[in-house]
A and B are shown apart, each in its own frame.
Chain A
């Protein structure tokens, strides 16, 4: 099994990860959405789930031929096919900083920006839901200003409340329920991103958009 130079790697005996080397932008994410739709119809693929410019495939059985799978995925990616989504726009009020945003000042330190500029840059942008995952209903957003890029925290927090707005790398998002997090948390929101009794249970899907509106500033 030689897959070193491949974009394909194993996530388990019944799951693979496809990671094309590409820029992190909407155009490439639209290509991921497209091959996710295609791969979902391949025999034995249980689910095809977009990540951030990567794709996870879950299988019913242990895949028989990784080389063939790798070629199929390469061909689908190299075809350049793309999926455009006419998504909805959700406006979310955010309390930046304070108790619910314990790392706002860390982010200012790490980026060399003032707290006010962190808030301004973060709330001026319109974000696109690139992927849904981590926990139920959580949206990975593209569109973060590159000046807000920060490293993940070395030791993850064991529990962060639902509604926490965090960022790490070139990514940002609001947690849908309480849980562990390795990101930098800068604020809180009051939105139900997931409800098992709602259909669909997840509020947003890839291609939808979010705008954050600052409600109060507690530097």
Chain B
């Protein structure tokens, strides 16, 4: 068991999300940074989409009631196991009674804490993700709080490398203060915006405002106006769609996105880049870079290649360590 000693609001249990219920109006939920979630599971040898904790604010602390293995990925957070500092992107052993402390984020916006076999919560409608709006899934359908006790789905293996497993991610971190680049496709109402708006949208930076959460990020930057206006009939929307309400400031829908909406859509961030928003914080700036489906395919291939490289690194490291015993 892992007891939550302290945790700020908005931490939840998430997996890769709930597919195939869009027709009932049920969004996907799932990790805001699916890359970090998959890496955490990979380092433990879990299934790629096992349920983990998603922690969007710190500090937080946990106590292990018996020997466990766990993995931490995502934001750089000065994590310590008792007094021992842990590398970013690390998986390893905790002894019964040890405490894990997550400190202020130095880089990134969400930490993923994975346990062996995934967090043991019921699968509902095909997923273990927390559906915050509908209050089900995850841990009792709600955000986590101090005193909650989380159970790993499996007993840890006896041969997990005693020194832990860590990986380095040259491509996956964005120094704080640097503009996040998001590759995006023009969406249905793109051409109805003024030339000035389109030039601004594709070249200037937008800041993530504090009115941002798992549903979506409200941005602030050059106002986007349309040549012709009029109410749209409601239509499907998905995470990554960039809508522009009458106020002229864009909103990016994210993991807890609605399934339908009616605001004009200027662009759509490709799936392969959504994780970058999962690691972004209010105040960070971002820029949209226009791409096409070939660009989206190549981004997806790059991500797959990175994963297979890291998976091999992980296996090699475990073999090495197990050989040392």
A residues lining the B interface (CB < 8 Å) = 1, 4, 9-15, 17, 19, 24, 46-47, 49, 51-56, 58, 62-63, 66, 131-138, 140, 151-152, 154-156, 158, 168-171, 176-180, 182, 194, 196-197, 200-202
Contact = CB atoms under 8 A, between A and B. Distances in A.
Contacts of A24: 233
A136 B133 contact: yes
Contacts of B260: 51, 131, 133-134, 138, 140
B83 interface: no
Contact of B185 (A12, A56, A137): A12
A44 to B, nearest CB: 14
B178 interface: no
Nearest to B267: A10
A108 to B, nearest CB: 19
B23 A47 contact: yes
Contact of A10 (B25, B131, B187): B187
B262 A168 contact: yes
11 contacts: A10-B293, A11-B265, A12-B269, A12-B270, A15-B236, A19-B188, A19-B235, A49-B259, A51-B235, A176-B25, A182-B262
A25 to B, nearest CB: 11
B186 interface: yes
Nearest to B251: A156
A148 to B, nearest CB: 13
B24 interface: yes
Contacts of A180: 215
Given A171-B234, A196-B125, A11 B258 contact: no
Interface stretch (B43-51, B101-109, B238-246, B280-288): B238-246
Given A4-B191, A13-B185, A54-B233, A62 B238 contact: no
Contacts of B124: 196-197
Which of A9, A47, A55 has its CB near the most chain B CB atoms (within 10 A)?
Answer: A9
Contact of B235 (A4, A54, A63): A54
A136 B269 CA distance: 23
Given A49-B259, A52-B233, A152-B262, A12 B27 contact: no
B272 A13 contact: yes
A176 B260 CA distance: 14
Contacts of B137: 196
Which of B131, B137, B258, B269 has its CB near the most chain A CB atoms (within 10 A)?
Answer: B258
A11 B267 CA distance: 8
Which of B25, B239, B246 has its CB near the most chain A CB atoms (within 10 A)?
Answer: B25
B238 A15 contact: yes
Contacts of A1: 292-293
Contacts of A17: 188, 235-236
Contacts of A178: 133
Interface of B: 19-27, 124-125, 131, 133-137, 185-188, 191, 211, 215, 231-241, 245-247, 258-263, 265, 268-272, 292-293, 296-297, 300
B233 A177 contact: no
B233 A135 contact: no
A176 to B, nearest CB: 8
A52 B262 CA distance: 10
What are the 3 closest A-B residue pairs judged by CB atoms, nearest first? A56-B236, A133-B260, A9-B188
A152 B270 CA distance: 28
Given A49-B236, A133-B259, A155-B247, A11 B211 contact: no
Given A1-B293, A12-B271, A169-B262, A136 B185 contact: no
B25 A194 contact: yes
Contacts of B232: 169
Contacts of A135: 25-27, 133-134, 258-259
Nearest to A199: B125
A132 B133 CA distance: 16
A144 B261 CA distance: 18
Contact of A133 (B25, B134, B233): B25
Contacts of B237: 11
Contacts of A171: 233-234, 262
A137 B233 contact: no
Contact of A137 (B25, B186, B188): B25
Given A13-B296, A46-B20, A49-B236, 8 more contacts: A11-B187, A13-B300, A136-B24, A136-B131, A154-B247, A178-B133, A179-B133, A197-B124
B297 to A, nearest CB: 5
Which of A11, A132, A170 has its CB near the most chain B CB atoms (within 10 A)?
Answer: A11
B234 A52 contact: yes
A11 B238 contact: yes
A154 B264 CA distance: 12
Which of A56, A169, A196 has its CB near the most chain B CB atoms (within 10 A)?
Answer: A196
Contacts of A151: 231
